[in-house]
Amino acid sequence: MTSTLYTRRQALRLGALGAGAAALSAACGGGAAGGSGKEIGIAIGNGISYAPFTVLQAKRWLEEELPGRTISWKIISGGGTVRDALLSGKLHLGCSGLGPLLIGWDAGVPWKIVSSLNDMPLWLVAKDPRFKSLRDFRQGDQIAAVQPGSIQSVMLQKAAQQQLGDPHALDRNIATMAHPEALEALLGGQIAASYTSPPFQFQAVEQGARKLVDSYDLFGRHGFNVVAATEEYAERNPDVLTAVHKAIARANDFITEQPAEAAKILADAEKGRIGAEKYEKYLTYEGIEFTTTPHGLVKLAAFMKEIGVIRKVPADWRDLAFDTVRKEDGS
């Protein structure tokens, strides 16, 4: 089995070396990551994984929990980029897939989970009929993923291990793209496949693509995105972490119990680009659960260590979490 193909430069870009992360924090003033607590910058991404935050923005439940605070939202694609923003103090909380979270933790990046957002199956989809399995991909057939080290790229490595006998067989096929751009490129024939997430995988299938890999078939039910903060920020602002976890739990309950109302909020936020009826279908797709509890961390870490992406596995999933979720039934 070959070792990971990530170069030192890639690792630094992903924040995957503790020394690199520490240097970044120091260059930005060290204590900047702690923040004052008065202004709260939150990084989110694209897709229905972030539906709880769309609900929070519409309902203003976080402002209700944190009166007198100014909350700003920024869309950032990729957990590595989010990590850099948190370490520099430019943002204070941010969403990351499990892959980048584990890469950072393994290298000593001082961040932990405030809350999970959801469990979701993640699909590899292709439109060209010549792609029926991973055996059909050749050199130059690009597969979109948010970035090397993303949870999608880890899922691709697991599928490659199962189907091709080498988890790194398709590492060089990965093309870094945000999910919306990847969907357009896939449907336009510019790329061979996309390892993506809801709703983009559903939209791709609706427009003629086929599912080649389902992450639930690889690892069983697992988490997708979590909300993370640095330990420095958490120490200075414990009330913010508690409020964020509480607000996400409230939003998750709202989505689960009133999916039609949640879907209308998402459709309004998109200015009708996707209708409420379609959003309700996506939110209630089998296997999707909006939950604050992290799932699958240890199992995913064990695989990433096995193939040389990280060097150690947490003894307990709580090693990667703040007190906000440590009493929950995670894994």
Is 51 part of any domain? Answer: yes
pLDDT of amino acid 5: 39
| Cβ(259)–Cβ(292) below 8 Å | no
Domain-ending residue, one of 168, 184, 219: 219
CA gap 225, 79 in Å, rounded: 9
Domain-ending residue, one of 170, 185, 219: 219
Q: Report strand pairing: 193-195 vs 39-44.
A: unpaired
Question: Does the CA dihedral 87-71-75-122 come out positive or negative?
Answer: positive
CA gap 158, 35 in Å, rounded: 38
User: Are 102 and 184 part of one and the same domain?
Assistant: no
User: Are 233 and 95 part of one and the same domain?
Assistant: yes
Range of the domain at 315: 8-120+223-326
User: Are 44 and 115 part of one and the same domain?
Assistant: yes
Give backbone dihedrals phi and psi of 225, rounded to 5 degrees, phi first: -110, 145
Is 195 part of any domain? Answer: yes
CA gap 186, 184 in Å, rounded: 5
The structural domain count of the chain equals: 2
User: Are 45 and 96 part of one and the same domain?
Assistant: yes
CA gap 306, 303 in Å, rounded: 5
| Cβ(17)–Cβ(104) below 8 Å | no
User: Are 97 and 240 part of one and the same domain?
Assistant: yes
Is 2 part of any domain? Answer: no
Nearest to 263 by CA among 51, 59, 75: 51
User: Are 207 and 297 part of one and the same domain?
Assistant: no
CA gap 289, 118 in Å, rounded: 5
Q: Which two tokens stand for residue 191?
A: 């790329």
pLDDT of amino acid 77: 78
Residue 108 is given by DSSP the state: T
Radius of gyration of the chain (CA): 19
User: Are 115 and 16 part of one and the same domain?
Assistant: yes
User: Are 15 and 116 part of one and the same domain?
Assistant: yes
User: Are 174 and 312 part of one and the same domain?
Assistant: no
Residues linked to residue 228 through DSSP beta bridges, in sequence order: 94, 113
| Cβ(251)–Cβ(266) below 8 Å | no
| Cβ(293)–Cβ(328) below 8 Å | yes
CA gap 138, 123 in Å, rounded: 20
Residue 221 is given by DSSP the state: S
Is 303 part of any domain? Answer: yes
Residues 6 or more apart whose CB falls under 8 angstroms from that of 175 comprise 142, 143, 144, 145, 191
CATH number at residue 115: 3.40.190.10
| Cβ(193)–Cβ(143) below 8 Å | yes
User: Are 116 and 19 part of one and the same domain?
Assistant: yes
CA gap 150, 114 in Å, rounded: 19
E-strand ranges in 98-236 read 111-116, 118-119, 123-126, 143-145, 174-176, 193-195, 210-214, 225-230
**What distances in angstroms separate CA 321 from CA 48, 165, 221, 273, 295, one per listed residue?**
23, 33, 19, 36, 12
Domain-ending residue, one of 219, 251, 282: 219
Is 331 part of any domain? Answer: no
CA gap 199, 121 in Å, rounded: 11
CA gap 105, 108 in Å, rounded: 5
Is 288 part of any domain? Answer: yes
**What distances in angstroms separate CA 309 from CA 6, 28, 270, one per listed residue?**
8, 28, 37
Nearest to 121 by CA among 199, 43, 16, 238: 199
Is 157 part of any domain? Answer: yes
Is 1 part of any domain? Answer: no
User: Are 57 and 114 part of one and the same domain?
Assistant: yes
Spell out the per-residue pLDDT of the chain, length 331, in tens.
334 434 333 433 444 333 333 333 333 334 455 555 689 999 998 899 999 999 999 999 999 999 999 999 998 877 888 999 999 999 999 999 999 999 999 999 999 999 999 999 999 999 999 999 999 999 999 999 998 999 999 999 999 999 999 999 999 999 999 999 999 999 999 999 999 999 999 999 999 999 999 999 999 999 999 999 999 999 999 999 999 999 999 999 999 999 999 999 999 998 878 999 999 999 999 999 999 999 999 999 999 999 999 999 999 999 999 999 999 999 9
User: Are 31 and 133 part of one and the same domain?
Assistant: no
